[in-house]
Structure 1
Protein backbone atom coordinates (compact mmCIF):
# COMPACT_ATOMS: atom_id res chain seq x y z
CA UNK A 1 0.00 0.00 0.00
CA UNK A 2 1.37 3.40 -0.96
CA UNK A 3 1.31 6.42 1.32
CA UNK A 4 -1.45 7.90 -0.81
CA UNK A 5 -3.55 4.74 -0.52
CA UNK A 6 -3.08 4.63 3.23
CA UNK A 7 -4.16 8.25 3.64
CA UNK A 8 -7.14 7.55 1.40
CA UNK A 9 -8.20 4.83 3.82
CA UNK A 10 -7.81 7.29 6.70
CA UNK A 11 -10.01 9.78 4.84
CA UNK A 12 -12.60 7.06 4.23
CA UNK A 13 -12.77 6.04 7.88
CA UNK A 14 -15.31 7.86 10.01
CA UNK A 15 -17.61 7.10 12.92
CA UNK A 16 -20.44 5.58 10.92
CA UNK A 17 -23.72 6.40 12.66
CA UNK A 18 -26.06 4.16 10.64
CA UNK A 19 -25.11 0.96 8.84
CA UNK A 20 -26.95 -0.66 5.95
CA UNK A 21 -28.38 -3.73 7.66
CA UNK A 22 -28.93 -5.47 4.31
CA UNK A 23 -25.18 -5.69 3.64
CA UNK A 24 -23.00 -8.28 5.34
CA UNK A 25 -19.23 -8.48 5.64
CA UNK A 26 -17.76 -11.60 4.07
CA UNK A 27 -16.09 -14.18 6.32
CA UNK A 28 -12.77 -13.53 4.59
CA UNK A 29 -12.93 -9.76 5.15
CA UNK A 30 -14.05 -10.13 8.76
CA UNK A 31 -11.22 -12.52 9.55
CA UNK A 32 -8.77 -10.09 7.91
CA UNK A 33 -9.93 -7.35 10.30
CA UNK A 34 -9.72 -9.67 13.31
CA UNK A 35 -6.29 -10.91 12.28
CA UNK A 36 -5.02 -7.32 12.16
CA UNK A 37 -6.31 -6.92 15.72
CA UNK A 38 -4.63 -10.13 16.79
CA UNK A 39 -1.29 -9.04 15.34
CA UNK A 40 -1.38 -5.63 17.05
CA UNK A 41 1.40 -4.66 19.49
CA UNK A 42 0.90 -4.60 23.24
CA UNK A 43 2.98 -3.64 26.25
CA UNK A 44 5.27 -6.48 27.35
CA UNK A 45 3.67 -8.55 24.60
CA UNK A 46 0.83 -9.55 26.92
CA UNK A 47 -1.90 -9.33 24.22
CA UNK A 48 -4.42 -8.37 26.92
CA UNK A 49 -7.54 -8.59 24.77
CA UNK A 50 -10.26 -10.83 23.46
CA UNK A 51 -12.59 -10.08 20.56
CA UNK A 52 -16.23 -11.15 20.93
CA UNK A 53 -17.92 -11.21 17.52
CA UNK A 54 -21.68 -10.88 17.80
CA UNK A 55 -23.64 -11.80 14.68
CA UNK A 56 -26.79 -12.97 16.45
CA UNK A 57 -29.61 -10.44 15.93
CA UNK A 58 -31.34 -11.29 19.20
CA UNK A 59 -28.19 -10.68 21.22
CA UNK A 60 -27.61 -7.37 19.39
CA UNK A 61 -31.12 -6.34 20.46
CA UNK A 62 -30.23 -7.10 24.09
CA UNK A 63 -26.97 -5.19 23.84
CA UNK A 64 -28.45 -2.05 22.26
CA UNK A 65 -30.38 -0.69 25.30
CA UNK A 66 -27.24 -0.72 27.46
CA UNK A 67 -25.31 1.05 24.70
CA UNK A 68 -27.40 4.21 24.89
CA UNK A 69 -29.83 2.68 22.38
CA UNK A 70 -27.47 3.50 19.52
CA UNK A 71 -28.69 2.26 16.15
CA UNK A 72 -25.22 1.14 15.07
CA UNK A 73 -25.50 -1.80 17.45
CA UNK A 74 -28.32 -3.46 15.56
CA UNK A 75 -27.73 -2.12 12.03
CA UNK A 76 -24.10 -3.25 11.74
CA UNK A 77 -23.06 -6.46 10.06
CA UNK A 78 -20.80 -7.61 12.88
CA UNK A 79 -20.63 -6.24 16.40
CA UNK A 80 -17.23 -6.71 18.00
CA UNK A 81 -16.95 -6.28 21.74
CA UNK A 82 -13.33 -5.78 22.73
CA UNK A 83 -12.60 -7.21 26.14
CA UNK A 84 -9.70 -6.28 28.40
CA UNK A 85 -8.09 -9.20 30.17
CA UNK A 86 -7.77 -9.12 33.95
CA UNK A 87 -6.70 -12.44 35.45
CA UNK A 88 -4.16 -13.39 32.77
CA UNK A 89 -2.07 -10.33 33.60
CA UNK A 90 -1.40 -11.49 37.16
CA UNK A 91 2.05 -12.93 37.77
CA UNK A 92 0.73 -15.71 40.00
CA UNK A 93 -1.27 -17.23 37.13
CA UNK A 94 1.95 -18.05 35.31
CA UNK A 95 0.54 -16.54 32.10
CA UNK A 96 3.02 -13.63 31.89
CA UNK A 97 5.91 -16.10 32.19
CA UNK A 98 4.39 -18.20 29.40
CA UNK A 99 4.24 -15.11 27.19
CA UNK A 100 7.94 -14.42 27.76
CA UNK A 101 8.77 -18.11 27.25
CA UNK A 102 7.54 -18.03 23.67
CA UNK A 103 11.02 -16.86 22.74
CA UNK A 104 13.80 -19.32 23.54
CA UNK A 105 15.86 -18.08 26.48
CA UNK A 106 17.54 -19.50 29.58
CA UNK A 107 15.46 -19.64 32.75
CA UNK A 108 17.62 -16.95 34.34
CA UNK A 109 16.70 -14.47 31.62
CA UNK A 110 13.03 -15.48 31.78
CA UNK A 111 13.04 -14.85 35.53
CA UNK A 112 14.59 -11.44 34.87
CA UNK A 113 11.72 -10.46 32.56
CA UNK A 114 9.08 -11.74 34.95
CA UNK A 115 10.59 -9.72 37.79
CA UNK A 116 10.91 -6.65 35.59
CA UNK A 117 7.25 -7.00 34.61
CA UNK A 118 6.11 -7.48 38.21
CA UNK A 119 8.14 -4.60 39.58
CA UNK A 120 7.34 -2.13 36.80
CA UNK A 121 3.62 -2.88 37.09
CA UNK A 122 3.50 -3.25 40.86
CA UNK A 123 0.79 -0.61 41.32
CA UNK A 124 -1.07 -1.69 38.19
CA UNK A 125 -1.25 -5.31 39.31
CA UNK A 126 -2.39 -4.39 42.82
CA UNK A 127 -6.11 -4.48 41.92
CA UNK A 128 -8.48 -5.59 39.18
CA UNK A 129 -9.54 -1.98 38.73
CA UNK A 130 -5.97 -0.88 38.04
CA UNK A 131 -5.36 -3.82 35.72
CA UNK A 132 -8.47 -2.91 33.73
CA UNK A 133 -7.37 0.71 33.35
CA UNK A 134 -4.05 -0.50 31.91
CA UNK A 135 -5.33 -3.31 29.69
CA UNK A 136 -8.26 -1.27 28.37
CA UNK A 137 -5.75 1.28 27.06
CA UNK A 138 -3.90 -1.51 25.30
CA UNK A 139 -7.06 -2.61 23.47
CA UNK A 140 -7.28 0.75 21.73
CA UNK A 141 -4.10 -0.08 19.81
CA UNK A 142 -5.83 -3.14 18.37
CA UNK A 143 -9.04 -1.21 17.77
CA UNK A 144 -7.27 1.54 15.83
CA UNK A 145 -5.52 -0.99 13.63
CA UNK A 146 -8.75 -2.89 13.01
CA UNK A 147 -10.64 0.25 11.99
CA UNK A 148 -7.90 1.32 9.58
CA UNK A 149 -7.67 -2.18 8.13
CA UNK A 150 -11.43 -2.19 7.61
CA UNK A 151 -11.33 1.22 5.94
CA UNK A 152 -8.62 0.02 3.56
CA UNK A 153 -11.10 -2.51 2.11
CA UNK A 154 -14.14 -0.22 2.15
CA UNK A 155 -15.69 -1.34 5.43
CA UNK A 156 -17.02 1.15 7.95
CA UNK A 157 -16.78 1.17 11.72
CA UNK A 158 -17.72 3.23 14.76
CA UNK A 159 -15.83 3.07 18.07
CA UNK A 160 -18.37 3.30 20.92
CA UNK A 161 -17.55 4.20 24.50
CA UNK A 162 -21.18 5.09 25.22
CA UNK A 163 -22.28 2.01 27.12
CA UNK A 164 -23.25 1.02 30.65
CA UNK A 165 -20.30 -1.20 31.48
CA UNK A 166 -21.74 -3.23 34.36
CA UNK A 167 -25.03 -3.85 32.58
CA UNK A 168 -23.35 -4.80 29.32
CA UNK A 169 -21.10 -7.27 31.12
CA UNK A 170 -24.20 -8.86 32.65
CA UNK A 171 -25.89 -9.14 29.25
CA UNK A 172 -22.76 -10.84 27.92
CA UNK A 173 -22.57 -13.03 31.04
CA UNK A 174 -18.90 -12.20 31.55
CA UNK A 175 -16.79 -13.39 34.43
CA UNK A 176 -15.37 -9.96 35.20
CA UNK A 177 -12.49 -11.43 37.18
CA UNK A 178 -11.23 -12.62 33.79
CA UNK A 179 -12.55 -10.11 31.23
CA UNK A 180 -14.16 -6.67 31.26
CA UNK A 181 -15.60 -4.63 28.40
CA UNK A 182 -13.22 -2.01 27.02
CA UNK A 183 -14.85 -0.92 23.76
CA UNK A 184 -17.85 -1.64 21.55
CA UNK A 185 -16.87 -1.69 17.89
CA UNK A 186 -19.48 -2.30 15.17
CA UNK A 187 -18.43 -2.95 11.56
CA UNK A 188 -20.50 -2.80 8.39
CA UNK A 189 -21.32 -0.66 5.39
CA UNK A 190 -22.58 2.91 5.59
CA UNK A 191 -26.17 3.69 4.70
CA UNK A 192 -25.67 7.44 4.26
CA UNK A 193 -22.98 9.58 2.68
CA UNK A 194 -20.01 10.34 4.90
CA UNK A 195 -20.07 13.69 6.63
CA UNK A 196 -17.15 16.07 6.21
CA UNK A 197 -14.08 14.96 8.14
CA UNK A 198 -13.01 17.72 10.54
CA UNK A 199 -9.49 17.78 11.92
CA UNK A 200 -7.13 20.39 13.35
CA UNK A 201 -4.44 21.66 11.00
CA UNK A 202 -1.13 19.78 10.88
CA UNK A 203 0.78 22.60 12.56
CA UNK A 204 -1.68 22.65 15.45
CA UNK A 205 -0.99 19.05 16.43
CA UNK A 206 2.62 18.58 15.39
CA UNK A 207 5.63 20.26 16.98
CA UNK A 208 9.18 19.49 15.94
CA UNK A 209 11.88 19.73 18.61
CA UNK A 210 15.34 20.09 17.10
Structure 2
Protein backbone atom coordinates (compact mmCIF):
# COMPACT_ATOMS: atom_id res chain seq x y z
CA UNK A 1 0.00 0.00 0.00
CA UNK A 2 1.45 3.33 -1.06
CA UNK A 3 1.93 6.05 1.54
CA UNK A 4 0.75 9.64 1.32
CA UNK A 5 3.46 12.25 0.87
CA UNK A 6 3.55 13.16 4.59
CA UNK A 7 3.46 9.51 5.61
CA UNK A 8 6.44 8.95 3.34
CA UNK A 9 8.30 11.87 4.92
CA UNK A 10 7.67 10.41 8.39
CA UNK A 11 8.70 6.94 7.20
CA UNK A 12 11.94 7.98 5.48
CA UNK A 13 15.18 7.87 7.44
CA UNK A 14 18.84 7.19 6.71
CA UNK A 15 18.70 3.41 6.82
CA UNK A 16 21.92 2.00 8.27
CA UNK A 17 21.31 -1.73 7.75
CA UNK A 18 19.29 -3.26 4.92
CA UNK A 19 17.69 -6.70 4.82
CA UNK A 20 19.82 -8.53 2.24
CA UNK A 21 17.07 -11.12 1.66
CA UNK A 22 14.62 -8.55 0.29
CA UNK A 23 14.91 -7.19 -3.24
CA UNK A 24 13.13 -4.26 -4.87
CA UNK A 25 10.97 -5.19 -7.85
CA UNK A 26 11.85 -3.82 -11.29
CA UNK A 27 8.53 -1.96 -11.32
CA UNK A 28 9.23 -0.15 -8.05
CA UNK A 29 12.85 0.61 -8.95
CA UNK A 30 11.83 2.02 -12.31
CA UNK A 31 9.27 4.22 -10.51
CA UNK A 32 12.03 5.65 -8.32
CA UNK A 33 14.34 6.23 -11.28
CA UNK A 34 11.57 7.80 -13.35
CA UNK A 35 10.96 10.31 -10.56
CA UNK A 36 14.69 11.11 -10.67
CA UNK A 37 14.55 11.50 -14.44
CA UNK A 38 11.66 13.94 -14.20
CA UNK A 39 13.36 16.12 -11.57
CA UNK A 40 14.04 19.77 -12.41
CA UNK A 41 17.49 21.02 -13.40
CA UNK A 42 19.07 24.35 -14.29
CA UNK A 43 18.23 25.36 -17.88
CA UNK A 44 16.65 21.91 -18.24
CA UNK A 45 20.07 20.41 -18.97
CA UNK A 46 19.57 17.32 -16.78
CA UNK A 47 23.28 17.24 -16.00
CA UNK A 48 23.27 13.81 -14.42
CA UNK A 49 23.32 10.07 -15.03
CA UNK A 50 22.07 7.30 -12.73
CA UNK A 51 24.17 4.15 -12.39
CA UNK A 52 22.05 1.33 -10.94
CA UNK A 53 24.26 -1.40 -9.52
CA UNK A 54 23.05 -4.84 -8.43
CA UNK A 55 26.26 -6.71 -9.28
CA UNK A 56 27.49 -7.99 -5.92
CA UNK A 57 31.16 -8.14 -6.94
CA UNK A 58 31.13 -4.50 -8.01
CA UNK A 59 29.30 -3.46 -4.84
CA UNK A 60 32.03 -5.23 -2.84
CA UNK A 61 34.70 -3.23 -4.70
CA UNK A 62 32.84 0.01 -4.08
CA UNK A 63 32.32 -0.50 -0.34
CA UNK A 64 35.95 0.08 0.79
CA UNK A 65 36.07 3.47 -0.93
CA UNK A 66 32.74 4.41 0.71
CA UNK A 67 34.24 4.33 4.18
CA UNK A 68 33.35 0.63 4.38
CA UNK A 69 29.69 1.46 5.01
CA UNK A 70 27.63 -1.73 5.16
CA UNK A 71 24.68 -0.21 3.29
CA UNK A 72 26.68 -0.37 0.06
CA UNK A 73 26.69 -4.16 0.01
CA UNK A 74 23.53 -4.96 1.99
CA UNK A 75 21.19 -2.87 -0.16
CA UNK A 76 19.05 -4.23 -2.95
CA UNK A 77 20.02 -1.58 -5.51
CA UNK A 78 22.98 0.79 -5.25
CA UNK A 79 22.43 3.99 -7.22
CA UNK A 80 25.35 6.28 -7.96
CA UNK A 81 24.38 9.68 -9.30
CA UNK A 82 26.98 11.06 -11.68
CA UNK A 83 27.45 14.76 -12.43
CA UNK A 84 27.77 15.53 -16.13
CA UNK A 85 30.77 17.54 -17.33
CA UNK A 86 31.11 17.62 -21.12
CA UNK A 87 27.37 17.40 -21.85
CA UNK A 88 26.66 20.84 -20.38
CA UNK A 89 29.33 22.58 -22.47
CA UNK A 90 27.92 24.42 -25.52
CA UNK A 91 30.71 22.90 -27.63
CA UNK A 92 29.38 19.39 -26.98
CA UNK A 93 26.26 19.90 -29.04
CA UNK A 94 24.15 18.49 -26.21
CA UNK A 95 23.11 21.91 -24.97
CA UNK A 96 21.74 22.83 -28.40
CA UNK A 97 20.06 19.44 -28.77
CA UNK A 98 18.26 19.83 -25.46
CA UNK A 99 17.12 23.37 -26.22
CA UNK A 100 15.79 22.12 -29.56
CA UNK A 101 13.43 19.76 -27.73
CA UNK A 102 11.27 22.84 -27.19
CA UNK A 103 10.80 23.24 -30.97
CA UNK A 104 11.65 26.94 -31.09
CA UNK A 105 12.58 29.03 -34.15
CA UNK A 106 16.29 29.47 -34.92
CA UNK A 107 16.48 33.08 -33.73
CA UNK A 108 15.02 32.13 -30.37
CA UNK A 109 17.33 29.11 -30.15
CA UNK A 110 20.33 31.33 -30.82
CA UNK A 111 19.12 33.73 -28.12
CA UNK A 112 18.88 30.97 -25.51
CA UNK A 113 22.26 29.50 -26.48
CA UNK A 114 23.82 32.93 -26.10
CA UNK A 115 22.06 33.53 -22.79
CA UNK A 116 23.21 30.14 -21.52
CA UNK A 117 26.85 30.67 -22.50
CA UNK A 118 26.92 34.24 -21.14
CA UNK A 119 25.10 33.52 -17.88
CA UNK A 120 27.28 30.49 -17.16
CA UNK A 121 30.56 31.94 -18.43
CA UNK A 122 32.32 31.52 -15.08
CA UNK A 123 30.66 28.18 -14.31
CA UNK A 124 31.70 26.73 -17.67
CA UNK A 125 35.27 28.04 -17.40
CA UNK A 126 36.64 24.80 -15.91
CA UNK A 127 35.65 21.18 -15.33
CA UNK A 128 35.94 21.74 -11.58
CA UNK A 129 33.42 24.60 -11.73
CA UNK A 130 31.09 22.55 -13.91
CA UNK A 131 31.27 19.64 -11.45
CA UNK A 132 30.32 21.94 -8.57
CA UNK A 133 27.30 23.14 -10.57
CA UNK A 134 25.99 19.80 -11.83
CA UNK A 135 26.77 17.88 -8.63
CA UNK A 136 24.74 20.41 -6.64
CA UNK A 137 21.77 19.92 -8.96
CA UNK A 138 21.98 16.14 -8.61
CA UNK A 139 20.70 16.54 -5.06
CA UNK A 140 17.33 17.64 -6.43
CA UNK A 141 17.00 14.26 -8.15
CA UNK A 142 18.40 12.55 -5.05
CA UNK A 143 15.77 14.03 -2.73
CA UNK A 144 12.93 13.23 -5.10
CA UNK A 145 14.10 9.65 -5.55
CA UNK A 146 14.36 9.05 -1.80
CA UNK A 147 10.84 10.40 -1.26
CA UNK A 148 9.51 8.33 -4.17
CA UNK A 149 11.09 5.27 -2.55
CA UNK A 150 9.51 6.09 0.81
CA UNK A 151 6.07 6.36 -0.83
CA UNK A 152 6.58 2.74 -1.91
CA UNK A 153 7.77 1.72 1.57
CA UNK A 154 11.36 1.42 0.36
CA UNK A 155 14.29 2.67 2.41
CA UNK A 156 17.33 4.65 1.35
CA UNK A 157 20.43 6.32 2.76
CA UNK A 158 22.21 9.22 1.05
CA UNK A 159 25.99 8.75 1.26
CA UNK A 160 28.51 11.57 0.87
CA UNK A 161 31.15 9.61 2.76
CA UNK A 162 33.27 8.27 -0.08
CA UNK A 163 36.69 8.82 -1.61
CA UNK A 164 35.69 10.44 -4.87
CA UNK A 165 38.88 9.87 -6.86
CA UNK A 166 39.00 6.20 -5.92
CA UNK A 167 35.28 5.66 -6.56
CA UNK A 168 35.56 7.32 -9.97
CA UNK A 169 38.43 4.92 -10.70
CA UNK A 170 36.54 1.82 -9.53
CA UNK A 171 33.66 2.80 -11.80
CA UNK A 172 36.03 3.36 -14.71
CA UNK A 173 34.65 6.82 -15.42
CA UNK A 174 35.87 9.13 -18.15
CA UNK A 175 36.20 12.20 -15.94
CA UNK A 176 35.76 14.56 -18.87
CA UNK A 177 32.23 13.20 -19.23
CA UNK A 178 30.99 12.21 -15.75
CA UNK A 179 32.14 12.30 -12.13
CA UNK A 180 30.56 10.84 -8.98
CA UNK A 181 28.26 13.28 -7.16
CA UNK A 182 26.52 11.16 -4.51
CA UNK A 183 25.81 7.53 -3.59
CA UNK A 184 22.38 6.26 -2.50
CA UNK A 185 21.54 2.64 -1.64
CA UNK A 186 17.91 1.48 -1.76
CA UNK A 187 16.39 -1.52 -0.01
CA UNK A 188 14.34 -2.58 2.99
CA UNK A 189 15.19 -1.88 6.63
CA UNK A 190 16.07 -4.78 8.89
CA UNK A 191 15.34 -2.83 12.08
CA UNK A 192 12.58 -0.42 13.01
CA UNK A 193 13.73 3.18 12.82
CA UNK A 194 14.18 5.26 15.92
CA UNK A 195 12.03 8.34 16.44
CA UNK A 196 12.72 10.90 13.72
CA UNK A 197 14.39 13.94 15.27
CA UNK A 198 13.72 17.31 13.66
CA UNK A 199 13.81 20.91 14.84
CA UNK A 200 10.50 22.58 15.66
CA UNK A 201 8.69 24.26 12.76
CA UNK A 202 9.11 27.73 14.29
CA UNK A 203 12.88 27.21 14.62
CA UNK A 204 13.21 26.52 10.90
CA UNK A 205 10.60 28.73 9.23
CA UNK A 206 10.55 32.52 9.23
CA UNK A 207 7.71 34.35 7.52
CA UNK A 208 8.46 37.80 6.09
CA UNK A 209 5.25 39.71 5.34
TM-score (normalizing by structure 1): 0.97
Offset at residue 199 of structure 1 (A): 0.7
Distance in 2, Cα, partners of 1:31 & 1:104: 28
Partner of 2:87: 88
Offset at residue 94 of structure 1 (A): 1.4
Alignment of 1:173-192 (within 5 A): 173-192=172-191
Secondary structure, in 3 states, of the residue corresponding to 1:103? coil
Let me know the Cα RMSD of the aligned residues.
Answer: 0.8
Partner of 2:138: 139
Offset at residue 130 of structure 1 (A): 0.2
Gaps of 5+ in 1: none
Secondary structure, in 3 states, of the residue corresponding to 1:198? coil
Partner of 1:159: 158
CA offset digits 1:28-82 (Å, max 9, x no partner): 0000000000010101000001000000000000000000000000000000000
Which aligned segments of 4 or more residues in structure 1 are displaced greater than 4 angstroms?
none
Distance in 2, Cα, partners of 1:194 & 1:114: 48
Q: How many correspondences in the alignment? A: 207
Partner of 2:23: 24
Secondary structure, in 3 states, of the residue corresponding to 2:183? strand
Alignment of 1:112-127 (within 5 A): 112-127=111-126
Gaps of 5+ in 2: none
TM-score (normalizing by structure 2): 0.98
Offset at residue 93 of structure 1 (A): 1.1
